[in-house]
Amino acid sequence: MQELTHYIDGAHVAGQADRTADIFNPATGEVQAKVPLASADEVDKAVAIAAAAQPAWAAVNPQRRARVMMKFVQLLNRDMDKLAEALSREHGKTLPDAAGDVQRGLEVVEYCIAAPQMLKGEFTDSAGPGIDMYSMRQPLGVTAGITPFNFPAMIPMWMFAPAIACGNAFILKPSERDPSVPLMLAELMEEAGLPKGILQVVNGDKEAVDAILDNPVIQSIGFVGSTPIAEYIYGRGCSNGKRVQCFGGAKNHMIIMPDADMDQAADALVGAGYGAAGERCMAISVAVPVGDDTADRLIEKLIPRVEALKVGPYTSGNDVDYGPVVTAAAKANIERLVQTGIDQGAKLVVDGRNFSLQGYEDGFFVGAHLFDHATKDMDIYQTEIFGPVLTTVRAQTYEEALTLAMDHEYGNGTAIFTRDGDTARDFAARINVGMVGINVPIPVPLAYHTFGGWKKSVFGDLNQHGPDAFKFYTRTKTVTARWPSGIKEGGEFSIPVME
C-alpha cells in the first residue's frame, strides 16, 4: 500500500493529522494508495512557509521567473509518459487522454513565459505640469487553488503557472482522489529552478478547504468543481476579503441544423460526449437536432458509433475509447440518473446498463448510453450527469433550439453544427454561454485566450489563463509623480554643502 504525502518547503512530508483517504484503481475497484488529509494547522504552517519565501521570489525579475517556466516546459516534455501513466492509474483515463491533460496544462505554462510582456505597466509622460503617471502590476502574495479530480494536471497548471510567473507563492489543494500528478508537478517545478516554499501541495478534504478560505494571509483562491461547492467557496472566500475565481457545473448543448454534415456531427458528438467517460466540464451532454428529420438522421448515425465504443482500462492499449469513472459513488449516481431518465419517459436507444468487462467486474466501468426524445423538464436534462450519457432533446426550429441552451442555468460551453454562415454568426452573437464552438464540439480556447463560462457555471469577474490570469494574480498600483526641475541659471563650481 503506497502512502502519499504533502509537499511542503521542497520536501515530501507525511501527514500529521492521522486522517487519510483511499485512492482507488478505478479499473479494478481496489485501494491502491492512501493520501493524508491535512488539518487546519498543517495548512496554516504551509501558508506561513509560503509567506516567508514569497517576497524574495517577487523580487526576482520577470524574465528570470520566465526562465523557470521555460525549464518546466522542457521537464514536462521529458516526463510526459511518466505523468500520463500516473494520471491514468489514479483517474482511469486512457493514456492518450491523460497525455492531453498534461499537454493542455503545458500550453498555459508556455504562455506564462511571456510574463515580462504581460506584466508591463502603462506610462503617461507630462500628464500635468511636470507630472508623470505610471502603473505597476504587483503580485498578491500567497495564493491558493482547489482543483478537481477530472483534470489533475491541466487545471493545477492553469492556476499555479500564471500565479507563480506573476511573483506569487501558491498553495495547491488537489483532489484527494488522484493527487500523485500534482505532487510530481511540484517536484518538477523545483527541478526547473523554483525556490522552495513557492509551490506547495497540501492534500485534504473540507477541513483543508475551509482552512484555505479562512487563512488571512491567502490573498486569492481559484476553484473548479461543482456549482454548489463553487457557490460555497466564492461566498466564504469573498466574505473573508479574498479575490476568488470559481468555476462550477455545466450542461453543454450542441445544436445540429438540418444542413449540417451528419457524419461530421455524429463523430463530434461521440468524441465530445463519451471521451474521458463524460467526466469533463466541457463535454457535450445534450444534442439538439432541429427538426424530426434531422433528429432521425442523427440518431441513425449515432447508434452504431455509440455501440462500437471500446471501453476498458488504460493498460489495454491506445485504441480504448474511454475508461472507468473515478469512484463507485460516481458510477452509482450515473446509473441512478439513467434509470430516472427511463422512468420519466425518455427513450433509451443505446442501453449500457448491463455493461461488464471480463476480469474487471469490480471496476467502475459504465457502458455508453444514448437517450432520445428527452424533454427539458427531465432530470437527465437538468442535471450534470458527468458520465458517458448523451441526451437528445428534439427542437422543431432554430429559435426553439437556441432558447433551450439560453434558458438552462449553466452556461459553460456550447456548439452549433451548420453549413450556413448567417446561422452560425447569429448563434455566436446571441447565445448567453461563455465558450462557443462553430463546427467545433468542445470549444476550449487555446492558452492565449481565456477560459470561462457564464451564468451558474462561473462565480467571479475574471476567467482562467490567457490575459485574465495575469490580471487575476496581480493588483495594479498607479503612481503620480512630480519632481522639481532642478534647473538653475549659471553653473556652480564649489562642492555643495549642507546649509
Give the residue numbers annotated as catalytic, written as ranges: 281
Return the beta strands (E) in 189-259 as ranges: 199-201, 218-224, 243-247, 252-256
Spatial separation of the C-alpha atoms in residues 489 and 499, rounded to whole Å: 20
Residue 412 CB-half CA count within 13 A: 26
Report the alpha-carbon distance of residue 101 to residue 158 in Å, rounded: 11
Name the phi and psi angles at 194, rounded to 5. Answer: -70, 130
Are 219 and 242 contacting, i.e. CB atoms less than 8 angstroms apart?
A: yes
Cell numbers standing for residue 338: 439513467
Name the phi and psi angles at 125, rounded to 5.
Answer: -85, 135
Residue 37, judged by CB atoms within 10 A of its CB (0-12, 13-18, 19+), counts as buried
Q: Which three cell numbers stand for residue 358?
A: 471480463
Determine the Cα–Cα distance for residues 82 and 95; give it in Å rounded to an integer. 10
Find the DSSP H helices in 285-368: 292-307, 328-343
**168 to each of 224, 240, 402, 460, 463, how far by Cα in Å?**
20, 19, 42, 20, 18
Task: Provide CB contacts within 8 A for 92, sequence distance 6+.
Answer: 26, 27, 277, 313, 314, 323, 324, 325, 326, 364
276 within 8 A of 283, measured Cβ to Cβ? yes
Amino acid identity at 41: D
The contacts of residue 158 (CB under 8 Å, 6+ apart) are: 105, 108, 451, 464, 465, 469
**Residue 473 CA from chain centroid, whole number:** 16
| Angle at the Cα of 296 from the Cα atoms of 290 and 299, rounded to 5 degrees | 100
Give all strands of the β-sheet with 243-247 in edge-to-edge order. 11-13, 6-8, 199-201, 169-173, 142-146, 218-224, 243-247, 458-459
Cα–Cα distance measured from residue 90 to residue 325, given in angstroms and rounded to the nearest whole number: 10
Q: Is the dihedral of CA 326, 178, 174, 66 positive or negative?
A: negative
> Do 463 and 451 meet the contact criterion of CB atoms below 8 Å apart?
yes
**Judging by beta carbons within 10 Å of its beta carbon (0-12, 13-18, 19+), is residue 43 exposed, middle or buried?**
buried
| Most distant CA atoms of the chain, gap in Å | 99
